[in-house]
Amino acid sequence: MTEFTPTVPARVLPPVAIRDLPDPPRSQWRIIGPGLVGAGVGLASGEFILWPYIASQVGLVFIWGALIGIVTQWFLNMEIERYTLATGETALTGFSRMWKHWGLVFVLMTLGSNVWPGWVTTSATMVTYLTGSGEESVRWIAIGMLLVIALGLTLAPVIYNALERVIFVKIGLVIILVVVAIIFAITAESWVQLGRGLTVGAQFPVPPLDFALLMGAIAYAGAGGGQNLCQSNWIRDKGFGMGLYVPRLVSPVTGQEEAAASTGFQFAPTKANLDRWRAWWRFANIEQASTFALVSFLTIALMSMLAYSTVFGREGLANGIDFLQVEGQVLQEVVAPWFGVLFWVIGALALFASAMGIVDYTSRLASDVLKTVYLRDRAISVNRIYFLLVWGAAVVGTLILLAGFDQPLILLVFSASFAAVMMFVYSILLIILNRRSLPDAIKVRSYRLGALIWSVAFFGTLTVIVVFQQIQRIFGG
């Protein structure tokens, strides 16, 4: 065989090493998980608040938007996974090979989106619905949750395994909730409206709801922003493809650290390697479709149907956490007191698990970029960087909560804008990365390339709309 020259560029980082692609597992059920983790972390305020709120206002005429958003993100996730399956490197490392600071740009935008601890106060607020302790106790409950999250993520011997177990429990609880809801609360009419909302009854635009709200709901159905990029890290820790050669992220306290390579690998496109690639690629696509995509859509659809069955047409509903209090109270009235309590319990636990996932993926993305690109030759390990970032997030969140600040307008603007901007930019970079950096036999092409072009157009349009509207609100209001 002639000598194989890697196609992954080495302009910024050291060149990749050549290794054969590992054999796919004989029992593929044993490595299902990253798609469920992605769905579980993404099942947060959008699925519990935003989409049910839309259903409460206009019915299920816009539910098709969730399907479009999730399918778009499935294609994005697969192109993020393509690079990691083929190289063992994260997509952010691939971007950093094109320009050194691309990874840092995305890390800073992810941190900007998640620095305010709203992702944990929503869970704490739902706890107060159960205890009746009032709004003044939210900050103390939230601080306790931050401590539990930091301990859970930094004491687990293998961090991904701990997160996966938490998310599996969350999804199990949500399944219990929706099964009980189907039996006792979701009406036959809502099933009819669901079918209409996916076919002849679909509408867009949907007055009186804001255009940007609807576009944002499509964009962030399922996941969004930095979370999609973390699919690289999660499948690598699970041992998918060339990621099997990369040490997993472990606790520097209870785990056994390994000297992690700062760069990845590439396989020569031999017949044996390409046969293995096709098996890995087929499995990865099925895993994402049957977990991330299916779980995300079913949760959005069923939670929207529950809202439609209970509070559709009710005046004065807030598009925020207070919406869940009203929905729980209505469930207590129309079904039984125990069902409203069950709704709040599972909601609080589900939002807590999402908060844990948000801290993980934010710290995971940042630690990988810092170690691989900027601290590659330093003695500190990626595990210790992750440890410091997780506890840093807990400390900063605690200080913000103790200070009693409300979330300032500028951070609301950043949070609303960053995810759309990130997805617009990395959709472009994924086209470049997976066209130029991979062998011809496995590079992105055909309808998958068309899906990335659609993603660029959609998120580019959303970026312009959101930024323009926020500028108008700041300077025109």
Each residue of 333-343: pLDDT tens digit? 988 999 999 99
pLDDT of residue 27: 74
pLDDT of residue 214: 82
Is residue 231 pLDDT above 60, yes or no?
A: yes
Global confidence as pTM:
0.93
pLDDT tens digits along 396-416: 999 999 988 766 545 545 565
Is residue 1 pLDDT above 50, yes or no?
A: no
For the domain with range 17-198+208-403+429-439, which CATH number is right: 1.10.260.30, 1.20.1250.20, 1.10.4160.10, 2.40.220.10? Answer: 1.10.4160.10
Mean pLDDT value of segment 450-477: 82
pLDDT of residue 96: 95
Mean pLDDT value of segment 35-40: 90
Is residue 326 pLDDT above 70, yes or no?
A: yes
Mean pLDDT value of segment 86-108: 95
Mean pLDDT value of segment 246-266: 76
Is residue 255 pLDDT above 80, yes or no?
A: no
Residue 46's pLDDT band, with cuts at 50, 70 and 90, is confident
Is residue 259 pLDDT above 80, yes or no?
A: no
Q: Which residue is it, tokens 């005429």?
A: 61
pLDDT of residue 386: 95
pLDDT tens digits along 156-191: 898 999 999 999 999 999 999 999 999 999 999 999
pLDDT tens digits along 105-158: 999 989 888 888 888 998 999 999 999 888 889 999 999 999 999 999 999 898
pLDDT of residue 304: 95
Q: What percentage of residues in the chain have a pLDDT greater than 70?
A: 94
Instruction: Give ∠ CA 24-29-35 in degrees, rounded to 5.
Output: 90
pLDDT of residue 414: 56
pLDDT of residue 251: 78
Q: Mean pLDDT for the chain?
A: 89
Q: Which residue is it, tokens 């995810």?
A: 419
Mean pLDDT value of segment 346-360: 93
Q: Which residues contact 109 (CB under 8 A, 6 or more apart)?
A: 225, 226, 418, 421, 422
Mean pLDDT value of segment 417-422: 78
* Residues pairing with 17 in the sheet: 265
pLDDT tens digits along 218-230: 877 888 889 999 9
